[in-house]
Amino acid sequence: MTQRLHLVFGGELVDPTHTVFKDVDDIHIVGMFPDYETAYNAWKAEAHRTVDNAHMRYFIAHIHRLRDEEVEAGPTEELGA
């Protein structure tokens, strides 16, 4: 069975029209989720919790897209070689 991991994270942006974090040391890692649906639910909960702060943004990163499952070693694995 293929896993489709998703990371939910967010933080305060310098400007709400761009995706530059004000302080990368203060990024909130919500968690890693096994599928998009649970990641979306976690993202939605955090987005609703911080709705009063226009500079707060949460994102869903598709971790499974960082690897090409058809290739024996992904590009990030090659860096250590």
Q: Which two tokens stand for residue 3?
A: 């896993």
Give the DSSP letter of residue 80: T
Q: Does domain 6-67 have CATH number 2.60.200.20?
A: no
- The DSSP bridge pattern shows strands 56-62 and 28-33 to be unpaired
**pTM (predicted TM-score):** 0.77
Tokens describing residue 66: 């960082």
As a whole number of Å, the end-to-end CA separation of the chain is 28
Helix (H, G, I), strand (E, B) or coil at 22: coil
- pLDDT value for 71: 60
Mean pLDDT (10-residue bins), the chain, 81 residues = 87 94 96 95 96 95 76 53 47
Cα angle for residues 42, 43, 46 (degrees, 5° grid): 85
pLDDT attached to residue 47: 95
- For the chain, which residues make up each domain, given as ranges? 6-67
